[in-house]
Amino acid sequence: MAEKFYITTSIPYLNAPPHLGHALEYLQADVLARHQRLLGKDVFFLSGTDEHGAKVARTAETAGKTPKEFVDNLAKIFQDLLGKLSISNDDFLRTSDQARHWPGAQLLWEKLAASGDIYKGLYKGLYCVGHEAFITEKDMEGGICVLHKKSPEAVEEENYFFKLSKYTNRLKEALMKGEFQILPEWRKTETLNMLKEIGDVSFSRPAKDISWGVPVPGDATQTIYVWSDALANYLTGIGFGTEWTEFSAKGGSASGGKKYWPADVHVVGKDIMKFHTIFWPAMLMSAGLPLPKIIFVHGFINMKGEKMSKSLGNVADPFQLLEKYGADAVRFYLAHEVPAFGDSDYSLEHFHEVYEGFLMNGLGNLLSRTVKMMSVLGAISRPEESALARYPIKKSFNFLMSEGKSWSFEEASPMSLADGALWPAYQKAMDSYDISSAIKNVWIFLGRLDEYIEGYKVYKMAKSNPEEAKIILWHLAYSLASVAWMIKPFMPDTADKILSVLGVTANSREPWIKFSAKESAHLFPRVK
């Protein structure tokens, strides 16, 4: 039985259409999911939408729609983005789904209550609609929310509370013992510092104020607070509350969706880190459920130094980029130009420079040059080892093209690069979820292949000494086929096109003995 791998994105809040920051998270999770599938694992990749709460209700009212009408429209747009960006999620869960989500959200609440961790009390605080959360003075400057640039509302109401303070020490211990991991590592220190200021938290809102949400079990006067409701999606998306009713923290036999828990990776933005590194593990502890293995915390795509936000009017529309440049170009930009765990600043001008430099004039031209030379010489079969040794890539670039004993991706990679410099660096980066470093290693190698062509002046040799040129072209074709496999998680359509142009079956994991060039349009045409 294949090893399971369960990965999730956070679920975007449906108060506005998606922007490029949402596309970033989708891409990051998709790269990890696709990579794990190539390693032969049983992957389940969940995404969805967070649809309840005050912000949605108010925005819907302003738009002259019911909350359901409002979220139905936006959910379709988010699903459309997943499709256009070639995201390979296995399921999409909406928290307004009363059949699939509500039973599990309420079951989780009941488990917290059964542990004695839910109680009723009076709450007084500052409520930020943008955060959909109560905030403190440290979140504000001059009485304004730093992130949403609006004043919070003074609220005093009767709520149910979750005894988060009860789990403070257990959370610290779990983090220190590595029972769950936060990436990047320095976010663990940030979480430990936040734990010093954590107390019990409000877990419901009066239904008279927020009727759009999941009712508290046994108390219709209260609505489950949006964060408690939303976090449950990671369980309800694999059947909690519907296809399973109990789960042992000690594990044991599992069937159906239950077999995928605990999550291997939750991919989330830094603005919601606290809810995933503190609230969520504490809730799971209270419910007696295993903790997720990794919380992957990415940064923001900023515009002029500020986080993209509909309320600030500084969002980049991913649909426009996808329409103009194509899915793989957008995927490449998000993977290559945005540090896996850091912030980056976006501009359309920079995007276009990246497209022309790395894709059109980089990979696209390299493949075109190689295929053009191959077309002149015809099909190229693998030369003898002694012939290959006459033009080794490894001499110039510390890169070894060895045949190896195993051609399976799981053991050595279909490219047989296990003994060289590129494959270990790539695999090390992917193993540590540093996807930006992984793809940068590939593009460094592509630059070296350009140097390889110029170093031997292959285009001249093709006329003066075609048999020797075939040896070099074998190296180039083999290298490009190898690159195609490495970029499959990042740029799946481009990878398959490269293999097809080289005459290689797209899903072939066998050693490539023969290459035959096929005419094809440029991978990345000029865009004005």
Diameter over CA atoms, the chain = 87
The superfamily in CATH containing domain 348-515 is Isoleucyl-tRNA Synthetase; Domain 1 (1.10.730.10)
Strand partners, 44: 6
Overall average pLDDT of the 220-244 stretch: 92
Q: In the chain, pLDDT over 70 holds for what percent of residues?
A: 89
* DSSP secondary structure string for all residues of 94-128: ETT-TTTTHHHHHHHHHHHHHTT-EEEEEEEEEEE
Q: Is 57 exposed, middle or buried (0-12, 13-18, 19+ CB in 10 A)?
A: buried
For range 336-353, the mean pLDDT: 95
Q: What is the pLDDT of residue 131?
A: 65
- Write down the domain spans for the chain: 4-325, 348-515
Cα separation, 150 vs 122, in Å, equals 25
Cis bond upstream, residue 184 (ω within 30):
yes
pLDDT digits (tens, 9 = 90+) for 233-280: 999 999 999 887 554 444 434 456 788 999 999 999 999 999 999 999
Task: Supply the pLDDT for residue 462.
Answer: 87
**Span 498-519, average pLDDT:** 83
Please give the full DSSP string across 322-382, using - where no structure is assigned.
HHHH-HHHHHHHHHHHS-TTS-EE--HHHHHHHIIIIIIIIIIHHHHHHHHHHHHH--EEP
- Residue 496's SS3 state is helix
Q: What is the mean pLDDT of residues 407-423?
A: 40
Confidence of residue 475 (pLDDT cuts 50, 70, 90): confident
Q: What is the pLDDT of residue 414?
A: 30
Task: Output the DSSP codes for 43-54.
Answer: EEEEEEEB--SH
Q: List, for residues 57-82, the tens digit of each pLDDT value.
A: 888 999 999 999 999 999 999 999 99
Is 401's pLDDT higher than 50? no
The per-residue pLDDT for range 30-40, each reduced to its tens digit, is 999 999 999 99
Residue 519 scores a pLDDT above 70? yes
Q: Identify the pLDDT of residue 394.
A: 52
Most confident of 138-152, 245-259, 284-298: 284-298
pLDDT at 421: 65
For residue 200, give the nearest of 258, 301, 266, 279 by alpha carbon.
279
Contact (Cβ atoms closer than 8 angstroms) between residue 382 and residue 513: yes
Model pLDDT for residues 438-468, shown as the tens digit of each residue:
999 899 889 888 888 888 899 899 889 999 9
Question: Among all chains, which residue has been given the structure tokens 């259409």?
Answer: 17
Residues 6+ away with beta carbon under 8 Å from 203: 118, 159, 160, 161, 162, 224, 225, 228
pTM, full prediction: 0.90
| Helix spans in 166-264 (H) | 168-177, 186-195, 226-231, 233-236
CA distance 261 to 440: 32
Among the four given CATH numbers 3.30.2290.10, 3.40.140.10, 3.40.50.620, 1.20.1050.10, the one describing domain 4-325 = 3.40.50.620
The reported pLDDT for the residue numbered 240 is: 94
Q: Taking a C-beta distance cutoff of 8 angstroms, is the pair 359, 523 a contact?
A: yes
Confidence category of residue 149, pLDDT binned at 50, 70, 90: confident
Mean pLDDT across the chain, nearest whole number?
A: 87
Burial class (CB in 10 A: 0-12, 13-18, 19+), 356: middle
> Residue 241 has what pLDDT?
92
What percent of the chain shows pLDDT beyond 90? 63
Q: Comparing C-alpha atoms, which of 258, 238, 234 is closest to residue 248?
A: 258
